Amino acid sequence: MPYNTPAFSFKWLSSSILGLGSAFMLTACATTGTASPGQTSGQTAKTSPAPQAKNVILFIGDGMGISTITAARIFDGQSQGKKGEEHELAFDTFENVALIKTYNVNAQVPDSAGTATAMMSGYKTNIGAINVPPALLEARSADVCNPAALPDTMTQRAQSAGKAVGILSTARITHATPAAMYGHVPLRDLEADTDIKGPFAGCSSLAQQMVGSQAEVIMGGGSKEFSNAQMQTLKTDFIYVDTKTDMKRAKTGKLRGLFNRDHMSYEADRAGSQEPSLAEMTSVAIDRLGTDKDGYVLMVEAGRVDHAHHDTNAYRALTDAQALNEAVKVAKAKAGADTLILVTADHSHVFTMAGYPVRGNPILGLVKGFNRETRTIDITEAEDGKPFTTLGYHNGPNVREADSPALTDNMVQDKDYRQQTAVNLNYETHAGEDVALFATGPGAEKVRGVMEQNKIYNVMAAAMGWED
């Protein structure tokens, strides 16, 4: 299972998260309630007193940049026998769209912890931190390990308002994005109790904070991050399931599901397992959360689009983006008109789509262009005389070298193929350009223009009638 190894570690961050006041001046313009550069005046307006939306569903494709969306749209269309470019994903029809600026307070190209904080807490923070303000990190305050001293998150506000909360991810449930729905930690690496050491000795692990969460539904992967005692608590204090079958027939109560020791399988590898699809998890979550008369907040993360991109494996990135699209279809069908639905990415990847392929060319295939002289459609050759693919990455492990073998369509359309890259890194990186936000439902009209990522929080808060 070469694609199931969590190859990338954020351990390198631990020295830079605390202290080192670099770029700290950015904090002031990135905090809730302060006008930000690039912000249009309408987005900082006070919230309306009357709630517009009873429920909010936030879909996050981890690493699902705009090039990923375009390629996934074509991939999904071609999987239905179409040319693909004209196809529409479920969220392509949402009426409200914005560009989102994803940078972290101290990072031009962000990570998922800082970006999840922006969405869940309404302020930007340092790369690697989850729901801890940058000022406390820079000051090395002991409060970074004291959730009670930290600003409330959207989840805490929703629960105070009587709303039910659901948290779904195909990644480990202690991974950065889902963790931001229930936890506060100065460093995302603090997933298990065994990760608590050194400068973070006073912190509570994300596994421990997840066990303490009173959200109605929490499901994903990552059971290995939980101690025996924590697993026992999940099984005695909650309705605990670890198979798709048990998830679907679970009795009422607070539901906890962990379907894999590590991240859940990629959608491309899930067949024959007892792991539910993201759409199946979304369906169960909406059914259960929908019984709360006060409404609900649900976060659904396609967590592994990101991991496949880090491995420069476009096939699995696109099939996981396709799985997110299926989950959005479920939400559109099941959630009522009183539900605000948002679809976004936390950050992009260095993933490109290029080369003048003809209309309908297989999106994973070699570039085939129209030859004006022979009036035929031919494989396009690069300066080295060899073909190349439409999809590629700026950096990553499979560098195109002079002695690289000539590619064939069979090679590049294999699900294990890793697209070629320019810069040699053993793990492809995130990208820093804006991502898209698509919105429909009550309150969605605030999604427009170019927005700071933390303003997504304000859109959700305003829809639910909360003061900023």
Nearer to Zn ion, 242 or 320 (CB): 320
> Which residue has its beta carbon closest to Zn ion?
306
Q: Which residues in 435-457 are b (16+ Cβ under 10 Å) and which e? A: bbbbbbbbbbebbbeebbbbbbb
CB of 312 to Zn ion, least distance (A): 13
How far the first Cα of the chain sits from its last, in Å, is 46
Residues at the interface with Zn ion (CB under 5 A): 306
Residue the block writes with tokens 């991991």? 307
DSSP string spanning 146-171? -GGGSPPPHHHHHHHTT-EEEEEEEE
* Contact of 145 with 204, CB cutoff 8 Å: yes
Phi-psi region of 214 (alpha: psi -120 to 50; beta: other; left: phi over 0): alpha
Q: In the numeric block, which tokens belong to residue 27?
A: 């904090």
C-alpha R_g of the chain: 22
Query: Taking CA 405 as the corner, what is the angle to CA 402 and CA 411, rounded to the nearest 5 degrees?
Result: 140
CB of 438 to Zn ion, least distance (A): 21
Nearer to Zn ion, 157 or 309 (CB): 309
CB of 282 to Zn ion, least distance (A): 22
- CA proximity to 442, closest of 337, 289, 342, 344: 337
Residue 382 CA to residue 262 CA, distance in Å, equals 40
CB of 436 to Zn ion, least distance (A): 18
Residue the block writes with tokens 């880090």? 310
* Contact of 428 with 349, CB cutoff 8 Å: yes
CB of 110 to Zn ion, least distance (A): 10
CB of 112 to Zn ion, least distance (A): 6
CB of 11 to Zn ion, least distance (A): 14
Nearer to Zn ion, 58 or 113 (CB): 113
Nearer to Zn ion, 191 or 306 (CB): 306
CB of 176 to Zn ion, least distance (A): 9
Nearer to Zn ion, 65 or 84 (CB): 65
Residue 384 CA to residue 263 CA, distance in Å, equals 39
* Contact of 390 with 413, CB cutoff 8 Å: no
Length reported for the chain: 468
265 is catalytic: no
Selecting among 36, 67, 112, 223, the annotated active-site residue is 112
Nearer to Zn ion, 195 or 306 (CB): 306
Residue 449 CA to residue 468 CA, distance in Å, equals 20
Residue 417 CA to residue 381 CA, distance in Å, equals 19
Q: Is the dihedral of CA 273, 325, 461, 347 positive or negative?
A: positive
Rounded to 10 deg, the angle between the 455-463 and 112-121 helix axes is: 30
Nearer to Zn ion, 76 or 306 (CB): 306
Nearer to Zn ion, 64 or 330 (CB): 64
- CA proximity to 59, closest of 153, 167, 157, 156: 167
Catalytically active residues are: 112
